[in-house]
């Protein structure tokens, strides 16, 4: 029986979103943002030489059609990615009114977001006082720290000492629809942080805030590090997704990385987490062990979390080249009849202004169904196509491109 592997390269967009002008980084619209094309151009110009050198080198995904997908999506040249496609290739366009992780993943799984997300203002304070009072009450503290838009590393550095002295949780947000709480795993307690976020989540979800995120760390001021015990408490998808369709048909759904969190566990049979390097080992294992008829749904997040938001072109390019190498190893282990689709959930152009995601189309690359140009498709068509390959009825608006 056929198996399917849906692999999301978090934030690896390819430009060309028709509504990019309605999305912003600060006061600058995302019009013209293009994660892959701009990284490739920067590499070709010799301006991304830290830990790597020369044009962007991604032969495995380019052979499937990566360079061709970028040019289809945006018309942009992609130096270093010029192979003639030998896989299934095209570009997908999103309709949900958000450039965030849940919107992208839910829509890839067949369910567009029917509502507008709530975003907190980029002011100080960012959160209403009654919400801060609730956080303090749930945490059992006399107050909170932060209460602003921030990146995780700087705000932890700023408040680490006071947090460890008082026990007050560090609360912050970003341009995404999120409420994040950072706390020390040892002095505050990991279980306590997770319970705080879990107890707070229903209030934020009722406001249409997409995720409450626990951000644990260890160490001291000037010498701390965030741990792999992050947990996202996401609002439930508004309708059954690809994961529900597959599990409802009695098949197994393996979630790798953040997938279990993004879908609030719905339709997920088994979850495997870790760093991207560890996630690759899970993916390799499942290429051999995943049951017939199963779906393996993976998210590789570090392109986005470590390099896109930090606008680090060299590191993003290194990560892409690393991923391309492991993609080749993974593809070599697939069985006859398997389908692997590589795609993304949004953009995060590291050459762009600001630190937010960028509104872009995403590449859709497939292995296992021959050479086929699928052209422009919708995010929802990805989920419908995976369901079609598995012989499972699709329940959303998408149409199979297989």
User: Strand 211-220 and strand 223-226: pairing?
Assistant: antiparallel
Q: Is 10 annotated as a binding residue?
A: yes
201 phi and psi angles, rounded to 5 deg: -55, -45
Q: Which residues of 241-250 are buried (b: 16+ CB within 10 A; e: fewer)?
A: bbbbbbbeee
Whole-angstrom Cα distance, residue 402 to residue 380? 13
Whole-angstrom Cα distance, residue 214 to residue 226? 11
Q: Is 184 annotated as a binding residue?
A: no
Q: Is 130 annotated as a binding residue?
A: no
Q: Is 304 annotated as a binding residue?
A: yes
Contact 328, 362 (CB under 8 A): no
Distance from first CA to last CA of the chain, Å, rounded?
Answer: 17
SS3 content of the chain, % helix, strand, coil (to 5): 35, 20, 45
Q: Is 357 annotated as a binding residue?
A: yes
Contacts of 206 (CB under 8 A, 6+ apart): none
Helices (H) and strands (E) in the chain, counts: 13, 16
**Residue from 58, 4, 69 nearest 362 by CA:** 69
Tokens 């990385």 — which residue? 257
Contacts of 87 (CB under 8 A, 6+ apart): 63, 64, 65, 365, 366, 367, 371, 372
Contact 235, 206 (CB under 8 A): no
Binding-site residues for Mn(2+), please?
10, 304, 309, 345-346, 357
Residue list for the binding site = 10, 304, 309, 345-346, 357
């Amino acid at each position: 029986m056929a198996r399917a592997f849906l692999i999301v390269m978090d934030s690896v967009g390819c430009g060309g979103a028709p509504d990019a002008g309605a999305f912003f980084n600060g006061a600058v619209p995302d019009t013209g943002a293009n994660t892959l094309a701009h990284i490739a151009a920067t590499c070709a110009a010799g301006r991304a030489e830290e830990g790597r050198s020369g044009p962007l080198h991604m032969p495995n995904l380019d052979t499937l059609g990566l360079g061709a997908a970028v040019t289809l999506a945006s018309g942009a040249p992609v130096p270093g990615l010029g192979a003639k496609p030998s896989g299934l290739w095209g570009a997908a366009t999103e309709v949900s009114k958000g450039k965030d992780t849940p919107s992208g993943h839910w829509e890839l799984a067949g369910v567009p977001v029917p509502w507008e997300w709530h975003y907190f203002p980029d002011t100080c304070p960012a959160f209403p006082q009654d919400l801060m009072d609730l956080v303090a009450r749930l945490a059992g503290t006399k107050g909170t720290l932060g209460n602003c838009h921030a990146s995780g590393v700087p705000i932890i550095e700023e408040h680490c000492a006071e947090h460890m002295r008082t026990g007050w949780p560090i609360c912050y947000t970003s341009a995404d629809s999120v409420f994040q709480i950072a706390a020390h795993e040892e002095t505050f307690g990991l279980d306590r942080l997770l319970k705080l976020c879990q107890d707070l989540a229903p209030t934020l979800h009722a406001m249409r805030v997409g995720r409450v995120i626990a951000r644990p760390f260890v160490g001291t001021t000037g010498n701390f590090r965030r741990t792999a015990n992050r947990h996202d408490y996401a609002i439930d998808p508004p309708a059954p997704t690809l994961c529900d369709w597959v599990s409802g048909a009695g098949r197994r759904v393996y979630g790798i990385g953040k997938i279990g969190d993004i879908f609030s566990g719905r339709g997920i049979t088994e979850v495997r987490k870790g760093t991207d390097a560890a996630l690759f080992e899970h993916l390799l294992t499942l290429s051999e062990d995943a049951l017939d008829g199963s779906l393996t749904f993976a998210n590789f997040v570090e392109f986005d979390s470590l390099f896109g938001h930090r606008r680090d072109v060299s590191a993003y390019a290194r990560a892409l080249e690393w991923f391309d190498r492991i993609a080749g190893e993974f593809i070599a282990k697939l069985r006859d009849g398997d389908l692997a689709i590589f795609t993304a959930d949004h953009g995060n152009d590291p050459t762009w202004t600001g630190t937010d995601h960028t509104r872009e189309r995403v590449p859709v690359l497939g292995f296992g169904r021959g050479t086929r140009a699928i052209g422009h498709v919708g995010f929802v068509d990805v989920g419908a196509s995976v369901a079609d390959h598995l012989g499972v009825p699709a329940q959303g608006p998408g149409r199979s491109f297989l």
